[in-house]
Structures are given as C-alpha cells and as structure tokens.
Amino acid sequence: MTFAGLGIVLGAGIGACFRVMRVLLGESIPVTVQPIGLELQAPIGPGGEAVPLQVDTATVTVPRLTGSTFGLEILEQVIRFGTVTTVTLRPVLLARSILRGRVFGRGNTALATTAGITGLEGAGTALALALDGAVGGSVLVELGAGNSDGFVFLVADPALFIIAAFAFAVILTAFTVGARMQRDTEGLV
C-alpha cells in the first residue's frame, strides 16, 4: 500500500512538472475549453455526409499561455499535485497506524480530517475545476479577440460533492466517537 501511494504521488508529480515546464518554456500546450452553443458540421454521416454537432467540451492547442493564464495554469498544477499528495499519503499513514494497533486517537482523526477536507477542496473538485475553467475561458477570450460571451467558467455536479461530504462526515464521526470511547475506557482496565 505504501509503494502504491508513493507511485501515485510520483506519477502526479512528474505529470505536474512536465505540464509546468511546457508552460514555462512557452511550448504549445493543450487546454480544455467549454464553449456555449457552438455547433459544427462534421463529416461523420453515411458516405461522409455532414452532421451537426453540439460541442460542449473541446481541447485547443495554443502556441503558449500568456498573461493571467500563465500563472493560473502553474497554480492549478501546484494545487493538483498538493491535493493528490495529501489525499494519497494521509490514508497511507492512517492505514499504517491502524495496522500497528492504534485505530482511534487524535492523530488518526487529524489524518482523516486533513485528507477529507483537502479532497473536497482540491483536485477534481471546485478549486481545480475553477482554475481549469479560468484557463480555458481566458484562452477562448484571447482567441475570440476579447469577446467573453459564450464560454463556461465552471461546471460541477453538486451531487458528487454532497455524497463525498456525507461520506467524509460519517468517517470523521466514527473516528471522533472512537477516540472518545477509547479515552473513556482507558482508565477502566
């Protein structure tokens, strides 16, 4: 389990470093954009016939990021890597503590709390999605000569966050109650 966690962190770090290096070196970089109401004719019908498509998400390769998108992309990568590291290593440390016979306690509660809060706020959630949307929106504004109409800044499914927050609350409650029960029963034996 420890090696798997370290592998996940290492993979996330390498991916973030490569992306940041491409931004810093001014190389062309793919950016996810979410235009609104964009319809295209694609030759995917029978015999290559044009069929109308509604494009909700696309990847645009830009020669280089400029202005605020430059900093936002780097910040997004740092936040994603920090989140992956925290959310991966905290449960590994928690599992090691449990395997050593220390299930409940303030340290384990803190590990679970840190992993849960970071997971809800970091990568794949609101903060990373907002930064990704800001980069994509800025790229669309630059490509559209300053026209800011017609792009999505942030799309998030609230059901996912509600389920994750509920699961996190249940786990945190179990650790808190378990730690209290353990403290209360220590003097009885």
Tokens of 74: 């780097």
Domain boundaries in the chain? 2-29+65-184
pLDDT (tens place) for every residue of the chain, 189 residues total: 578 878 888 898 999 999 899 888 888 888 888 777 778 888 888 888 888 888 778 888 888 887 778 888 888 888 888 888 877 887 777 778 877 777 777 777 777 777 777 777 665 556 777 777 778 877 877 777 555 565 555 555 666 666 767 777 777 777 777 777 777 777 666
Residues 6+ apart with CB under 8 A from 4: none
- Please tell me the predicted confidence (pLDDT) of residue 17: 92
Nearest Cα neighbor of 82 from 121, 54, 52, 140 is 121
Tokens of 63: 């020669």
Placement of tokens 């190389």 in the chain: 27
- Global pTM? 0.69
Three-state DSSP at 43 gives: coil
